[in-house]
Amino acid sequence: MKRKEVWDMYLFRLLRQTIDSEWKAIIFYLVNTAFLLLIFNLTFTGSLIVYPALISLTILAAYLTVKAVMMHSFLHSLDSAKHSKGYASYPETCKEALVFEVIEDIHGRYHDIIVAINDKLNGRNSMFSSFIHNMKTSLAVIELACVNPSQDALGDIALENEKLKRNLEQALNILRLDEFSNDYVPERVDLHSLVSTVINEKKRDFIYAGVYPKLHGDTAYVYTDKKWCAYILEQIIANAIKYTPPGKNIYMEITPDEKRTVLTIRDEGIGIGAEDMPRVFELFYTGKNGRDHKAATGIGLFMVKHIAKQLGIEVTLTSAIGEGTKVCLSFLSKL
């Protein structure tokens, strides 16, 4: 199609859009003009109405031309607004200004949503890359152990198999986070029994690390989801084991109250520096300890904070270098 034909079509469309936008004003102007011409004709006998009619139509044409130019500017700005944020707009009226303000607000909101989705996607890609790398390492160890089978090799295979199970469970839990409400079953849970179960499941880790669990407190019932709460405890205890030197203890104490029951998990580990404390719950943040311990992923505490918020569990963490770390979980009591 030739440029002239395109331009003619655009002008025709612009004129139509201008008339559609200003039809009320045009009708009002024509009715008013007809009324004035009628008064002019009745007042001045025998006078012609051609001249005032031409003047009136000329004024209308000038008005439509101005409005068409304004419509062209508005449509151009609107087209720019559809494609990008921070566009240059030159509203001619208050309504146009409001339209661009709404579009800018929509752009801002969707931009924030897209950034959040991209961050989440990048985070997940990094997490699953880490899981896959860890599982490949475990598979390589198992493969080497199978080449030279022995009693020690069987122990290595069992250890790597546990690592594979933990990585797979971690990956599944991350996938379940988006549908947490569908996998959440609140119930009356014996917190003492649940902590004891988690300690027993971590028995091998305690033995290998040479660290000793100390559980204090009596039976206390809380209102929570048993499976997800156990996952939180596993993450906190796993961190405590990882950063506690051999021969030290990890203390767990349950303090019940009428409204809240507090579980305190305190280790005698290396502690966390003051500069790292504000960011310990951020995804992938490992801090100085993470750089010294290559197994750190910066996922555990993030998951703890995220899931605890969904469960209504208040989480606080205090720590100091050389003095260990204390994590307090405050549950809603169910007496």
Give a yes or no: residue 81 inside a domain: yes
Domain assignment of residue 103, yes or no:
no
Tell if the pTM clears 0.75, that is, is over it. no
Q: Whole domain around residue 167: which residue ranges?
A: 125-178
The alpha carbon dihedral of 167, 169, 172, 177 has a sign of negative
Residues 202 and 157 in one domain: no
Please tell me whether residues 302 and 235 are part of one structural domain.
yes
User: Looking at residue 182, what is its pLDDT?
Assistant: 64
Domain presence at residue 256 = yes
Spell out the per-residue pLDDT of the chain, length 335, in tens. 566 666 667 677 777 777 777 777 778 777 877 777 777 776 766 556 676 777 777 887 787 787 777 777 777 777 766 666 555 555 556 666 677 677 777 777 887 888 878 877 776 777 677 778 778 888 887 888 887 777 777 777 887 887 788 778 777 777 776 666 566 778 889 999 999 999 998 888 898 889 999 999 888 888 888 988 998 999 899 889 988 899 999 999 999 877 889 999 999 888 888 887 888 877 666 666 555 555 556 677 888 888 888 888 899 999 888 888 999 999 887 65
- What pLDDT was estimated at residue 326? 92
Domain count, the chain: 3
* Residue 257 resides in a domain: yes
Q: Is residue 316 part of a domain?
A: yes
Please state at what angle helix 226-242 crosses helix 191-201, rounded to 10 degrees.
50
User: Closest Cα partner for 317 from 274, 257, 287?
Assistant: 274
Instruction: Pull the structure tokens for residue 139.
Output: 């598979």
Nearest-CA neighbor of 78 among 121, 28, 14? 14
Of the candidates 153, 214, 222, which has an alpha carbon nearest to the alpha carbon of residue 186? Answer: 222
Residue 97 lies in a domain: no
Best CA proximity match to 265, nearest among 234, 299, 227, 298: 234
**Dihedrals φ, ψ of 331, to 5°?**
-105, 155
Distance of CA 177 to the CA centre of its chain: 12
Q: Cα 28 from chain centroid?
A: 53
Domain assignment present for 221: yes
3-state secondary structure of 214: strand
Token duo for residue 34: 């007809």
Burial 248-266 (b: 16+ CB within 10 A, else e): eebbbebebeeeebbbbbb
Give the pLDDT of residue 263: 93
Tokens of 247: 């021969």
* CATH number of the domain where residue 219 is located: 3.30.565.10
Among 178, 196, 216, give the residue marking a domain's end. Answer: 178
